[in-house]
Structure 1
Amino acid sequence: MKHVSFAAAHAGMLVWALLIAASFFAAAKVGQSIDPILLTGLRLLFSALVFLPLLLLNNNSPLTARGLLAHAVLGLLLATYFGSLFEALRYTSAVNTATLYTLVPLMTLGFEALLQPSASLKTRVLPMTLAAVGAVLLILKGSAPDELPAQYPVVVFGIGCLAMALYSPVSQRFKVKVLKGRDPVAMTFWNMLFGAVFLLAFCLFSGGWRSGALLTGRDLFWLAYLALFGTLATFWLLHRAIGVIESSTVVSYVYLNTLFVTVYHWLWLSQQPTLLEAVGAVMVAIGIATLVMGSRNARPAMA
């Protein structure tokens, strides 16, 4: 795989944070009467097919049975996350799912400690926590009591967040041996394809495929947007950064999406920033800046 520089990896993750921020709201635009598992399966399948020509033109990563199994595991984690997101959005708001997603980097740090122990882990706890608290202040700034999510969507999306927290450290561990040398295009294609197969197979047994008749042109537009920008582009950027930056630092860029959404409200919707927003924005900025500077001297554990 072509080496990605430190600066390029972090620049790519800035774009990743912007795309993730937009995906929460785009997912909420898709028709709520359509089976969320079917929606996610179609989203991942479309993402994989877009990358197929690139894979065929640059097929320098031979597949083995163990490699396919590794991709299947990663595809199952993706299927769990995206399926849980669509299901949770049927019962709660995009803001509430974004709030819960702020826990993913801290979960990733815990899994990284188990799968990729390194001396730099302790130095990331404080800045990650600082950024997490700042992100929560930004997201919850205007919540009313009746906007709190119900227990079901919290549990459902909580499981999805655990799957997403596992994705980066498990992917990096696979890249050490069984998927060594696999480039971001191949990683994204096979992981998305397996995720789509799992979800669409489930739809066949559950009967969720029947709701496909309810798909409108508007739904297909948002699915195409999510497939191209919320799925394909973000996971290509993720795999591009994994191996250059520590897993927990990579995922910590999610805190920036809350900052980007808030800045959008300030600048384009002419909303006056509150004190909590200002404090949260500063905390996110300091936390991410500390993580970025610390990652320059720390390499991901590769054994």
Structure 2
Amino acid sequence: MKHVGFAAAHWGMLIWAMLIASSFFAAAQVSQTIDPILLTGLRLLFSAMMFLPLLLLKHTSPISTRGLLAHAVLGLLLATYFGSLFEALRYTSAVNTATLYTLVPLITLFFEAFLLPNPSLKTRVLPMLVAAIGALLLTLKGSAPGQLPALYPSLVFGVGCLAMALYSPLSQRFKASVLKGREPVTMTFWNMLFGALFLLVFCLFSGGWRSGVQLSTLDIGWLVYLALFGTLATFWLLHRAIGVIAPSTVISYVYLNTLFVTLIHWFWLREQPMMIEIIGATLVGVGMLTLVAGSRIAKVATA
């Protein structure tokens, strides 16, 4: 992948955060009468197919049985996350799922401590904790003023967030062993393909495939949008920044999702800001700025 400058990588990650935030609203536009497992399977399948031309051009070497099993585990984690998102959106708003998602970096840090121990992880704890507290305050806003988010969708999407948090460190652990030398395009294609196969096979046994007849042209359009911009574009921007921006900065951009989603509700949907939202957004901003500043100092020190 072509090397980019420090500023260009930052601008790319800002776009990445906006695309992630918009994906929650796009997912909410898909008909809620269609089985969420089927929707997830189709989304992952569309995303995998978009990577297929790149995979064929690279002429990668065959994958071992152990490698396929590793991809299957990672695919299951992806399937769990996306499936929980569509299921949760049946019962709660996009803003609640988006703000819950901001807890993923902190949980990822916890998994990294066990799977990829590194002394530098300690420097991320305090700013991430500040931003996570802010995200929790924002999550306390329900679908209507003064209403807390329902327990069921919070628990469902909470499981999905755990799966997504485990995905990154476990993927790096596999890349150091059974998937050593695998390029990002190859990794993403096989992970998404396995995730799609798991979910579509499950739909065959559960009967969820029958709801597919209710898919409209608009629903398919939103799924293609999610596959193209919510998966393919964000993947490219993320890996474009890796190696240019310090790891803690890359992770911290997830926290901007909360600010973007909240600002959309304040200015576009014209919702009156609540005090708990203002405090939460402020804490997220402070945590984000601290992570960026700390990363910039580390970058200069090692230059």
**TM-score, L = length of structure 1:** 0.86
Pair 69,13 (structure 1): closer, same or farther in 2 beyond 3 Å: farther
CA distance in 1, matches of 2:240, 2:146: 41
Pair 292,248 (structure 1): closer, same or farther in 2 beyond 3 Å: closer
Deviation at 1:50, TM superposition (A): 1.1
Question: What RMSD over aligned residues (CA atoms) do the two structures have, in Å?
Answer: 2.8
Deviation at 1:250, TM superposition (A): 3.9
CA distance in 2, matches of 1:165, 1:23: 18
Deviation at 1:275, TM superposition (A): 5.3
State the AA in 1 paired with 2:46. Answer: F
Deviation at 1:32, TM superposition (A): 0.8
CA distance in 2, matches of 1:77, 1:293: 32
2:140–2:148 CA contact under 8 A, matched in 1: no
Tell me what 1:120 maps to.
120
Tell me what 1:154 maps to.
154
The answer on 1:228 being equivalent to 2:228 is yes
CA distance in 2, matches of 1:244, 1:205: 46
Pair 298,185 (structure 1): closer, same or farther in 2 beyond 3 Å: farther
Q: Deviations over 1:201-228 (max 9, x none)?
A: 1111111111100101111111111111
- Segment drifting more, 125-134 vs 259-268: 259-268
- Segment drifting more, 9-18 vs 213-222: 9-18
State the AA in 1 paired with 2:94. Answer: A
| Residue identity (%) | 77
Tell me what 2:42 maps to.
42
Pair 111,71 (structure 1): closer, same or farther in 2 beyond 3 Å: same
Deviation at 1:236, TM superposition (A): 4.0
1:252-291 aligned at under 5 Å gives the runs 252-268=252-268, 276-291=276-291
Tell me what 1:178 maps to.
178
Deviation at 1:47, TM superposition (A): 0.6
- Segment drifting more, 24-33 vs 284-293: 284-293
CA distance in 2, matches of 1:269, 1:150: 22
Structure 1, unpaired ranges of 5+: none
Pair 241,190 (structure 1): closer, same or farther in 2 beyond 3 Å: farther
CA distance in 2, matches of 1:163, 1:247: 20
1:188–1:232 CA contact under 8 A, matched in 2: no
Pair 246,152 (structure 1): closer, same or farther in 2 beyond 3 Å: farther
CA distance in 1, matches of 2:11, 2:181: 22
Pair 204,242 (structure 1): closer, same or farther in 2 beyond 3 Å: farther
Tell me what 1:65 maps to.
65
1:108–1:248 CA contact under 8 A, matched in 2: no
Report the secondary structure of 2:32's partner residue: coil
Report the secondary structure of 2:92's partner residue: coil
CA distance in 2, matches of 1:241, 1:175: 19
Q: Deviations over 1:6-57 (max 9, x none)?
A: 6665544322211110111111111111000000000000011111111111
1:96–1:148 CA contact under 8 A, matched in 2: no
2:74–2:191 CA contact under 8 A, matched in 1: yes
The answer on 1:18 being equivalent to 2:18 is yes
1:88-99 aligned at under 5 Å gives the runs 88-99=88-99
Tell me what 1:75 maps to.
75
- Segment drifting more, 272-281 vs 177-186: 272-281
Structure 2, unpaired ranges of 5+: none
Q: Deviations over 1:131-177 (max 9, x none)?
A: 12233444556864774233322221111111001011111222223
Q: What number of residue pairs does the alignment pair up?
A: 299
Report the secondary structure of 2:220's partner residue: helix
Deviation at 1:68, TM superposition (A): 1.8
Tell me what 2:164 maps to.
164
State the AA in 2 paired with 1:57. Answer: L
Pair 124,79 (structure 1): closer, same or farther in 2 beyond 3 Å: same
CA distance in 2, matches of 1:224, 1:53: 16
**TM-score, L = length of structure 2:** 0.86
State the AA in 1 paired with 2:201. Answer: A
Tell me what 1:193 maps to.
193
Q: Deviations over 1:68-97 (max 9, x none)?
A: 222111111000000011111112221222
State the AA in 1 paired with 2:253. Answer: Y
Pair 250,44 (structure 1): closer, same or farther in 2 beyond 3 Å: same
